Amino acid sequence: MTIGTKIAWDDTVLPFQLDLSDVRGRVARLDGALESVLKQHDYPPQVEALVAEATLLTALIGQMIKLRWKLSLQIRGNGPVSLIATDYFGPTDDGQPAKLRAYAGYDREADLDGVDPFSLIGEGYFAILIDQGEGMVPYQGITPIAGASLSDCAETYFAQSEQLPTRFALSFGKSVLPGESAAWRAGGVMLQMMPKASPSVMGEGGSGAGGLLAHEDLLEGDEGENWSRVNFLLDTVDDLELIGPHVGPTDLLIRLFHEEGPRVFDPQPVRFGCSCSEERVRQSLSIYSAEDIAEMTTDEGTLTADCQFCGAHYVLDPKTLGVGAEPDGA
C-alpha cells in the first residue's frame, strides 16, 4: 500500500473509554517500532506477517494491563511456524516509552509460497504470561489455537480464560513513503467490556471453535445490546482508517463511536527494545554445573550465546560461569 506521510501518532497506543457503553479500548499505530522488530531477522513474508500481527496484539494488550515489568505472548504450534514469542515491557516512569520485541521459530526448509500465514501454525496453544517482577508470582493463561487469525486466538483467550468480551480490528503490511523503500506499518483497535466481579456465562460450552467461549457468549440484556452495538460500529472500520496517515486515532474514535461518548486518556509511546545483557546471560547459566558448562564450551575455549530477539552475540569465559563460579574481575 502507498502511505502519504507519517503522523504524530505513529508508535503510540491511545487508551479510550466509551462512557455510554461501559466499554474500554485502545487504538495502536506502529511504524518504526514494528520495522525495528522485524529487521532484526530475515523472515519470509508469511512469517513477517505473523510476527507483525503478534507485535500489534502485544502492544494493545500490554497497554491494557497495569504492568510493573513484562507481558508476553507465546504462540506454539505443530506447523512450519512452531513459535511466535513477543514481550511488552511497561514504561519505567511516567512519560517514558514502553518497549516491544518479538521473534519467530520456523522451519527454514518448508515451502511457504502461497500459503495462508495463520495456517502455518497448525494446532497448538495461545498463551499470555504476565511477570510483575521480583517477588511476584508470574501469571500464565493458555487457550487452544482457534479461529482464522491470531486476533481470533486473542479474542478466544479473553473469552475462555478471562471471561472478558474482547474484540480486535487489525491491519498490517508494508507501506511506501514517497522517496523511501517499503517498510512495515500496523494499526488496530481493541475493545473490551469493562470487567465485572461476576461475569455471566450462559449455558454449557460456547459458540466458538471446539465449543470454546466466544465474546458474544458472555453478555445478555442491556450489556449484550451495548456490546453488539459497538461491535457493529467497529465492523465498519476499513484498513486505511486503521493504518493510513489521514485519520488520527482521536478522529477515528469520533468517526466510529461518536454516539457512545468516547473519552481518551494520555497516549503511551512504544519503541523497540530488548532486555538482554551479559549479566542476564550469566544469571541464566548460573544453574549449570562445571560439566554442563564444559559441554557448551566451543573448540576455541569460549561459551557463546545469541539473543533470539535482537541478535546480540555474547562471548564468555567458561571459567566464570556455572554453579559457584566467580564473574570476571571478581
**Secondary structure of residue 94 in the 3-state scheme:** coil
Residue 216: which of 168, 165, 169 has the closest Cα?
Answer: 165
Segment 286-324, tens digit of pLDDT: 777 888 888 888 888 888 878 888 887 888 888 887 655
Phi-psi region at 173: left, alpha or beta (left = phi > 0; alpha = psi -120 to 50)? left
Identify the pLDDT of residue 267. Answer: 93
How far CA 53 is from CA of 2, 78, 290, in Å, comes to 19, 19, 42
Q: Are 176 and 108 in contact (CB under 8 A)?
A: no
Identify the pLDDT of residue 7. Answer: 54
How far CA 203 is from CA of 143, 178, 206, 209, in Å, comes to 20, 54, 8, 16
CATH numbers and ranges of domains, the chain: 12-272 (3.55.30.10), 278-320 (3.90.1280.10)
Report d(CA 146, CA 123) in Å as an integer: 9
Q: What percent of the chain has pLDDT over 70?
A: 88
What DSSP assignment string belongs to 203-229?
SSS-SSGGG---GGGS--HHHHHHHHH
Report d(CA 25, CA 194) in Å as an integer: 9
Residue 166: which of 49, 307, 14, 64 has the closest Cα?
Answer: 64
Identify the pLDDT of residue 3. Answer: 46
Segment 140-186, tens digit of pLDDT: 999 999 999 999 999 999 999 989 999 999 999 988 766 677 889 99
Q: Rounded to the nearest 5 degrees, what angle is found at the Cα of 329, between the Cα atoms of 325 and 330?
A: 50
Identify the pLDDT of residue 9. Answer: 66
Identify the pLDDT of residue 197. Answer: 47
How far CA 5 is from CA of 25, 29, 31, 219, 253, in Å, comes to 26, 13, 11, 41, 21
Distinct helix (H) and strand (E) counts, the chain: 8, 13
Paired residues of 100 in beta bridges: 88, 272
**Secondary structure of residue 178 in the 3-state scheme:** coil
Q: Which residues of the chain have pLDDT under 70?
A: 1-9, 177-179, 197-210, 322-330
Cα dihedral 215→220→226→227 (10° resolution)? 0
Paired residues of 184 in beta bridges: 174
Identify the pLDDT of residue 157. Answer: 96
Contacts of 182 (CB under 8 A, 6+ apart): 174, 175, 176
